[in-house]
Amino acid sequence: MILFNAICTITAIQMASMTIIVDGKKTKAASAPTVAALLIALKLNGEEVLVKVNGKLAPNEMKIAASDEVKVMRVIFGG
């Protein structure tokens, strides 16, 4: 049910775009209402990345705007 709601949310997103930084590289992404929706749009697993919005760690339910500075960093596993 939660996944279905997230997909519906992404479908309803306007086609505006936002600039984000993924692993140090600037990229354009469709605007998303929340961190979770952005990760789904980018096809990233929320358990494998950290997301900062305006310099602060952001939970998946945090709302984001096109004017926010969003950085997505992959977490490296291993040892």
Q: How confident is the model at residue 12 (pLDDT cuts 50, 70, 90)?
A: very low
In a domain, 49, yes or no: yes
Distance CA 32, CA 10 (A): 7
In a domain, 44, yes or no: yes
In a domain, 79, yes or no: no
Write the CATH number for 31.
3.10.20.30
The whole-number average pLDDT for the span 29-52 is 93
Look at residue 11 in the predicted model and tell me its pLDDT. 41
Mean pLDDT of all residues belonging to the chain: 83
Cβ contacts of 79 within 8 Å, gap of 6 or more: none
- pTM here? 0.75
Domain range spanning residue 65?
Answer: 2-74
In a domain, 51, yes or no: yes
Domain count of the chain?
1
In a domain, 8, yes or no: yes
